[in-house]
Copies of this chain bind each other. A is one copy, B any other.
Amino acid sequence: MGEIHPLPQRRAFRDIVSKAIDPCETCTARSLTICAPLSAEEQLRMASLTTVIPLKPRQVLFREGDEAEFVYNITCGSVSLSKSLADGRRQITGFLGAGDFMGLNTRTAYTVTAEALNDVRVCRFPRAEFRKLLSEMPSLEQRLLAVTETELATAHEQILLLGRKTAMERIASFLLRQSERARARGLAPNPVSLPMTRAEAADYLGLTIETVSRCFTKLRKQDVISLPSADRVMIRQPDRLRALAEAA
């Protein structure tokens, strides 16, 4: 038994995990971070529960108010989370990337809408089984608590931005944050790449697309940034941008 099991298990592990956790090569390292603290057996158990789902740009994974049947983990691509008012006004509450979880809330309904920004792959876990798994794997739960606390701190940062910063301060903060985020993920921090449209950036920053565009133009005219293309921002004067991020 001791001799026979390891190999098949290892093989099954590779097969299933590679299908589940490692679907696209460019983001392997990223998606594994969430599973790094888990043992091989634990990773296998997680993998056996999961279904890989590919999403096209703008495809909606779930909507605010839908019954929360599944928990998702992003393995590749970017997703926006948003909430809307009855008349259509939309607020994007955050952007998630590889390694992030969605649908963890304890309620029975999703509290936000999740939509793919670009080509995305997610791992889907049936909710009940995921929770059961959690209670049996303290290391995963510990990790989720840490991740959720970080998300909460990020949300508080966004609350400060939306409640007290001017349009220009929001844009400057946003660019610096995106740059820092890229750096943390091991990507080039400059020029900043923006996977979202102006509309999405505006809905994230509590502004209109016109205001976002005007701020970009103003920064460009002051030579603080340059715009090689609409979705890439070159930060030419980081110090001035940092000063603008909280200068009334």
Contacts and interface: CB of A to CB of B under 8 A. Distances in A.
B135 A85 contact: no
A229 to B, nearest CB: 27
Contacts of A87: 246-248
A246 B86 contact: yes
Contacts of A156: 81, 83, 93-94, 111-112, 155
A179 B248 CA distance: 35
A206 interface: yes
Nearest to A136: B138
A93 B142 contact: no
Given A141-B141, A145-B148, A148-B148, A160 B106 contact: no
B151 A152 contact: yes
Number of copies: 2
Given A164-B206, A206-B162, A206-B163, A148 B141 contact: no
Contacts of A165: 85
A209 interface: no
Nearest to A247: B87
Contacts of A111: 153, 156-157
Nearest to A170: B163
Interface string A145-174: 110111111011111101111000000000
Contacts of A138: 135, 138, 141
A40 interface: no
